[in-house]
Structure 1
Amino acid sequence: MATGLIVHLEIVPDQREAFVEIARAHGARSLRLESGRCLSFEVFVPVTSATQVILVEKYVDDDALQAHWDSPHMAEYSARVEAMITSRTRYRCLV
């Protein structure tokens, strides 16, 4: 069974555009570097909020998600965006 990850983020208001650009690049990089393990990576920008972003990711299994979290490109992404995030809620799901 595949593993899904939904992440609801609150972003510093004047940083959302920059965050979305970085997150989309990270998603594309994850799909390329984790081919066959990272199955999808979507960045949603709610039109009813100036501060929210939702990430929806799908991995082949829990090991693939853990490998993503442990990857050098995840560490780089985290370092770039951490100051932009004011809160984060993660939902790990069966798909």
Structure 2
Amino acid sequence: MANVALIVHLDINAQALSEFLELARAHGTNSQRIEAGCLRFDVLVSTERDNHVVLVEVYEDDAALESHWNSKHMARYLEQVDGMIENRERYRCEC
């Protein structure tokens, strides 16, 4: 069975970028530590587009991704970053 990757492009409110990055990086670290099925979680900052962040997440399988989406720490993260994200494009890939 193939691993599942999420590539998420985010445009962040300029005033919230520093706080968002702190929260997103902590969320990525927590996801890898807490979730056995979270294989990778990178937070990338574009050098070509202002206030643009790319999340690269890799999960063992669809069940691991579903578990991530339904986790308490995911709900908390979404509450924390509410209003910071101006635009989101999410791509699900197999790897």
Instruction: Give yes or no for TM over 0.5.
Output: yes
For residues 1-43 of structure 1, the C-alpha deviation after alignment (integer angstroms, 9 at most, x for no partner) is 10000000010011111111100000000001002x0000000
For residues 53-84 of structure 1, the C-alpha deviation after alignment (integer angstroms, 9 at most, x for no partner) is 00000000011001100000000000000210
Question: Cα RMSD over matched residues?
Answer: 0.7
Structure with the largest fraction of helix: 1
Partner of 2:85: 85
Structure 2's unaligned 5+ residue stretches are: none
Matches of residues 9-48 of structure 1 in structure 2 within 5 Å? 9-35=10-36, 37-48=37-48
Q: 2:66 & 2:34 partners in 1: Cα distance?
A: 14
Tell me by how many angstroms 1:50 deviates. 2.1
Q: 2:88 & 2:22 partners in 1: Cα distance?
A: 18
Q: 2:89 & 2:33 partners in 1: Cα distance?
A: 26
Any runs of at least 4 consecutive aligned residues in structure 1 with deviations exceeding 2 A, and if so which? none
Partner of 2:52: 52
Partner of 1:6: 7
Tell me by how many angstroms 1:47 deviates. 1.4
Structure 1's unaligned 5+ residue stretches are: none
> Alignment partner of 1:40: what SS?
strand
Amino acid at match of 1:92: R
Amino acid at match of 1:12: N
Overall identity of the aligned pairs, in %: 48
Q: 2:82 & 2:94 partners in 1: Cα distance?
A: 27
> Alignment partner of 1:82: what SS?
coil
